[in-house]
Amino acid sequence: MVAELVEVQEFLVAHAPFEALPESVLRGLPPRLTTRYYRRDTEIVAAGSHNDEMFVLRSGAVEVRDPHGGLVDRYDTGRCFGWAALLSDGIAPFTLTAIEDSLVLVMPGEVFRELSRTQPMWSVFFQHSLSETMRMAVRAVHTADRGTTVLKTKVGDIIRRAPLWVTPATTIRSAAETMRDERVSSLLVMAEDELVGIMTDRDLRNRVVAEGRDIEQPVSAIMTADPISAPVESMAFELLLSMVAKNIHHMPVTDGGRVVGLVSSTDLMRLERANPVYIAGDIQKMTTVEQLAAVQPRVAEIVGQLVTEDATADDIGRVVTAIADAIERRLIELAEVRLGPPPGPYCWLTLGSAGRLEHGLSSDQDHALILNDETLAGPDGDAYADYLSELATFVSDGLAACGYRYCTAGLMATNPQMRQGLSRWLDTVARWVENPSDDTVHRVRSFFDLRPLHGDARLFEELQRAALAETADSMPFLGHLAAQATRTQPPIGFFRGFVLEKGGEHADTLDLKDRGVRLVVDLARVYALAGGLPQVNTQLRLTAVEGTGRLSAERIADLKDAFEFISYVRLRHQARQVRAGAEPDDFVPPDELSQFEKRHLRDAFQIVRQAQSVLTTAYPDQG
């Protein structure tokens, strides 16, 4: 017979979530716990360590710090803590320290899990707390890399390539050839790993050409010896200031005495130029596809900079989309210039991630055209159709030249199915919705993320209104869509089992697009279409879904945070790739993630997974 631990039971019943447990369950708990005492300033759990216990503070006080030492929270009597590890992979996300002498009730992980399985309110309580932790994580990543404008950029972040160098004995001619071939305006002069000088365009002009010097002389004769260098930790503005003061345009950057790069005043100026407003303005003035194609590297710079600053993934998506819009719109205008004025009104739609204002650095192109029924039926119908076919080809090829890959699912206006008169469009959408097949739904789901980009917006409005009227509460279609949305699951086991891409080019990486961001996009789309909601942006869709009562406010808030977190990690990965001179992609090697990010990614994946289960219940697949 187990004695009744009156004091423990009375304590538990006075605190959440125990208060809500049935009495029979509550009564059985005290014997399954232990009591521990922690002296002031002792660590209870260290961040990153394994933890399989939940604690309830009986008396005293406990401080919570993130792995960087930042204070996250302070707990007092009655507070449950240490459970975050139990909900994920068993690794503690935070360091928990007794800051006063503390008496703590300890619940073994197995008891916690048993309650999670058998007591619905128990899971609800901790899931809710999990979302609070999630919000803390979102704040934490945004402050970790915080910086504002150029004033906060470190020199190390703007070095783009390894320094080019020659030996002191290299001839001036050969050095100049290197500069020409590498398209640089300066070279370092190195003698056995040591920086001995720097040679620039200006030296060639002033000390070679103007002085009529023999170009077969060694560079040591014309270089600036013992140049000033800056440590890699310097701030960009410090460098700019000292360059202006000394009237120099190039400065070697060193890391622990080793030369790691060369920064020019142009590099520093470019920081300012990487401003989306300037870029959109520039795009407006461009007249060739080649000029437009040159914009892409600047977009990558902007993303890198926005990530370093305090921008959210949502903001960054909007900025990148705004630039993509400007390019796409400019291409349409250039097509109209080349093909002459259009024979009738039309509407160019942008679809998919661009439609949702969620363009990333590795997005492809999705678009469609709505044609005017009257013009099509009129005498110039064929010419009109041909005109728009040519326009579509021009724009699509232009986009491809600008770095937006062709859509593999054929959601492009070059595809005749994506280029129809309004009435035929209405038929097409009705057919998709009324006779859905897995294949069609999979292929065309991005069509429902549509936004008018150019032309007669009334065509878009009619099509969208009709489409939403079709999809709202249309069970078989929504069932297919829900099945699509839940077919791929987030990599919950990631980090314990390392559920990564198997084989191929992206072996052992985490696909944050297909197994992360896209899952939330798909979830939000099902609910939006089910509710006949016109929003297409995922965050806006989720907000609007709340009004329909189809998902709880809490779950929606969780999903938004999860979406923001995953998107942010993905964008930062891409920004790092761009900084390293690589093509941005969605495949994140786990090593690139901090413990903190891994844990919160898992939290985010868990939230997505739960939302998928809810969706499956609400919209069972009837196919």
Name the minimum Å distance from CB 33 to another protein: 5
The nearer residue to another protein, 74 or 139, going by C-beta atoms, is 74
Beta bridge partners of 454: 348
The nearer residue to another protein, 103 or 121, going by C-beta atoms, is 103
Chain-centre distance for alpha carbon 73: 27
- Which amino acid appears at position 595 of this protein? Q
Name the minimum Å distance from CB 116 to another protein: 21
The nearer residue to another protein, 101 or 456, going by C-beta atoms, is 101
The nearer residue to another protein, 8 or 614, going by C-beta atoms, is 8
Q: Count of CB atoms within 10 A of residue 552's CB?
A: 12
Q: Count of CB atoms within 10 A of residue 103's CB?
A: 15
Name the minimum Å distance from CB 95 to another protein: 18
Tokens 């997005």, located at residue: 363
Name the minimum Å distance from CB 551 to another protein: 40
Name the minimum Å distance from CB 13 to another protein: 14
- Closest by alpha carbon to 107, among 224, 15, 234? 15
The nearer residue to another protein, 28 or 620, going by C-beta atoms, is 28
For 306, 356, 480, the CA distances from 526, given in Å and listed in that order, are 31, 14, 10
The nearer residue to another protein, 26 or 121, going by C-beta atoms, is 26
The nearer residue to another protein, 35 or 613, going by C-beta atoms, is 35
Name the minimum Å distance from CB 4 to another protein: 7
Name the minimum Å distance from CB 316 to another protein: 48
The nearer residue to another protein, 37 or 498, going by C-beta atoms, is 37
The nearer residue to another protein, 30 or 490, going by C-beta atoms, is 30
Q: Using the 8-state DSSP alphabet, how is residue 343 labeled?
A: S
In sequence order, the 6+-apart residues with CB closer than 8 A to the CB of 333 are none
CB 330, CB 286: distance < 8 Å: yes
Q: CA 322 to CA 9: how far, in whole Å?
A: 59
Residue 170, SS3? coil
- Which amino acid appears at position 413 of this protein? A
For the chain, how many helices (H) and strands (E)? 24, 21
CB 90, CB 52: distance < 8 Å: yes
Q: Count of CB atoms within 10 A of residue 532's CB?
A: 16
The nearer residue to another protein, 50 or 146, going by C-beta atoms, is 50
Name the minimum Å distance from CB 109 to another protein: 15
Name the minimum Å distance from CB 76 to another protein: 12
Q: Count of CB atoms within 10 A of residue 425's CB?
A: 25
Binding site for another protein (CB under 8 A): 1-8, 11, 30-39, 42, 58-60, 100-101, 103, 106
φ and ψ at 349, to 5 degrees? -105, 140
CB 81, CB 70: distance < 8 Å: no
**What's the length of the chain?**
623
Name the minimum Å distance from CB 103 to another protein: 6
Tokens 């187990």, located at residue: 2
For 59, 79, 386, the CA distances from 74, given in Å and listed in that order, are 13, 10, 68
